[in-house]
């Protein structure tokens, strides 16, 4: 497996999709810093470093899909995977080396976002705005979320041999996941009461709070919260909009998805007919 990793990383450092991803995330971090600086200067908005550390999550959702589709998808197209197996490498080693390289690439892209945030953000933010331990837990959860997405995308990349079909599938599934996550987040954000202003019989304006029928209660709210906490795309939105309720649970869910998809992908790849 060592030879596969060396070859994979040597190819990674020459891959345009990797460096484009690094440049995109670094630019995203710079744009976030500029927006926060401009807002704090002109609108008297107070920003904290903890805020800047979560604004990459929605963009990060697309990194595994795009990278795996273009990087791993090329190996099928050019017969690289078949050549590795002919050279005597095991299917497990081929799968795991692809996962390690992809995971490393995605983490480096995430680090590119944090580079301008860490270097510039402290000049116009008012401290962390969150306990250091909690911030570390949130960042760990964000990385585990990306790892879970990466494992799912590697699974798809190793099972779908057509590059174009792979790219379309991964992007559509990612978009669908974000749509589901947005719906879950929207329902969880519904207020318990609606503030109503109406005119009474005397012609005066009267204000009152009325119960919101769309507010989730009891078991139904627990189901929606579980789905948002469990789905990586739901987690991305919760992190991005600072709606995290169960940070430890979300980390465990991401770890479970990572392990389950890796185990399932290994089992399926061993049985796949590569022709």
Q: State the pLDDT at residue 25.
A: 96
What is the arithmetic mean of pLDDT over 38-46? 76
Whole-angstrom Cα distance, residue 221 to residue 74? 43
pLDDT band at residue 195, thresholds of 50, 70 and 90?
Answer: low
Distance CA 188, CA 275 (A): 48
Of all residues in the chain, the percent with pLDDT exceeding 90 is 55
The residues pairing with 12 across neighbouring beta strands, listed in sequence order, are none
Q: Quote the domain boundaries for residue 135.
A: 2-271
Residue 28 has pLDDT above 80, yes or no: yes
Return the pLDDT at 227: 95
Per-residue buried b or exposed e for 106-126, using 16+ beta carbons within 10 Å of the residue's own CB: beebbebbbebbeebbeebbe
CA nearest 173: which of 161, 156, 197? 156
Q: What is the pLDDT of residue 196?
A: 62
What is the pLDDT of the chain when averaged over all its residues? 88
Choose the weakest-confidence range: 30-39, 103-112, 194-203, 220-229: 194-203
Of 16-30, 32-46, 84-98, 205-219, minimum mean pLDDT range: 205-219
- Cβ-contact 173, 149 below 8 angstroms: no
pLDDT, position 42: 72
Per-residue pLDDT reduced to its tens digit, 75-95: 777 777 877 878 888 889 999
Counted domains in the chain: 1
pTM: 0.90
């Amino acid at each position: 497996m060592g030879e596969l990793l060396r070859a994979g990383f040597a190819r990674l450092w020459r891959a345009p999709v990797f460096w484009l991803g690094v440049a995109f995330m670094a630019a995203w971090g710079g744009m976030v810093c500029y927006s926060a600086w401009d807002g704090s200067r002109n609108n008297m908005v107070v920003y904290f470093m903890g805020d800047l550390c979560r604004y990459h999550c929605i963009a990060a959702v697309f990194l595994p899909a795009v990278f795996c589709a273009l990087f791993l998808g090329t190996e099928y197209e050019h017969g690289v995977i078949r050549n590795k197996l002919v050279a005597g490498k095991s299917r497990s080693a081929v799968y795991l080396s692809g996962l390690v390289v992809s995971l490393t690439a995605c983490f480096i892209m995430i680090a590119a976002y944090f580079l301008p945030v860490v270097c510039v953000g402290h000049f116009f933010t008012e401290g962390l705005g969150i306990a250091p331990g909690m911030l570390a837990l949130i960042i760990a959860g964000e990385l585990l979320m990306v790892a879970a997405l990466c494992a799912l995308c590697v699974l798809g990349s190793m099972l779908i041999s057509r590059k174009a079909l792979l790219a379309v599938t991964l992007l559509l599934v990612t978009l669908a996941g974000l749509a589901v996550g947005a719906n879950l987040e929207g329902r969880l954000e519904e207020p318990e009461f609606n503030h109503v202003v109406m005119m009474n019989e005397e012609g005066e304006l009267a204000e009152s709070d009325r119960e919101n029928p769309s507010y989730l209660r009891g078991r139904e709210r627990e189901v929606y919260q579980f789905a948002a906490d469990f789905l990586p795309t739901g987690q991305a939105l919760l992190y991005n909009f600072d709606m995290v309720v169960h940070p430890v649970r979300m980390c465990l869910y991401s770890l479970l998805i990572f392990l389950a998809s890796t185990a399932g992908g290994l089992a399926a790849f061993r049985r796949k007919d590569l022709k």
